[in-house]
Structure 1
């Protein structure tokens, strides 16, 4: 006898949201096509939302709520989908980024806050089969994160990144060239400090992992350590101090700002040279 299917609370909530959309649509006497026209979507999209096969993005839920006269019921039901551990740590991380006055990060990968839109899209598309979700919603979320560093109350962002991140090809040589040029440009901004641990850094780049120390206006700090899935936060002052000191050691041992930019430019010219000058940045 086959073992029973494991219950998926997120799926059941998605189906509940879909059932509510269908109930409200039928109450108005609309077909799926008519509801689709009201919110500029296809009837097949409406069908997938109603069966719970797909979860509508928040902006779509807002449009559906308004069109169906739901008075916020759909929005409230959609928010319940975020009531799970994975979503909660993501929301907490975003709050940390948006409220911190200083962010200190160790990264073995291209820092998410400094990825351009093209590079980000390819990363998210590659990971979609593994992590799921809506690509458009993920891109919007990343764009809002990037905007944090350009705001009027932007935090100071200091990152130590391993050179290996520049040799892991995402997309093609053109994508990498544009991303690294954007990284160099970002590093010249007054609130952004990029330091590189080169391959010849006695193997220390392998220790970087992904760690962020958030410093807040009230004097408190919080540490985030990446994990699979999600990650975890550390609030204990003693442990936060240890991670801050760990970051400071890497920062001191990494190349200086200008030397880091020179290394990135060297990687660009050696590994991602401009083959057609008329079309390259």
Structure 2
């Protein structure tokens, strides 16, 4: 099975190297870098472990020049060619069996399902690939937990590309990471009738990294606005374009961004 792995970054090879600890030769890795540069391009061009590696700058929208993170994720979605998307951060190391577990999950659950993985974090002094979710009482000893609370985030896991197209991708009102763009996305998916399932065995490890800082406005303030919209039934990301239309354009020029 082939996946499109999408990663938004502005941090360089020192973190991206962890994406190559455990890889998937059938899948493509798409890295969209708001600080696109030759050093990172050269690093990625020398890596192995994926069928192809795509490295590109984000497609920036008018009047939203600095809103890098969501724009980078949407650009990656536009360049993705496979039916299922793996969402991962630039500091993630996949567990050795991650892609085997992901494949079994997407074959076992209906198309309208997001599979959320769990990732331990080095900066929380957590160890690699430990089931902290069960230790914290989430879902007891059950492997799979149905997630209905939009306060959960979908920052690591696998979902159908069609889901992203149905929701118009990530909302570009969010400036940077901090998880609120992922919380907004999951909230919209649940409101649109998709099902979110936590698989405790779909694991990754978040290596220590310097956090991004907001550049325009606080993401939690934006979420207070979008949350009200979503509860009112608006599940379409508030972007100045249709992701489906931009995707058709970006796929035509994809070849120039393939570095490996």
Q: Which has the higher helix share?
A: 1
Which entry has the higher C-alpha Rg, 1 or 2? 1
TM range (shorter): under 0.3
**Structure 2-normalised TM-score?**
0.25
Q: Which has the higher strand share?
A: 2
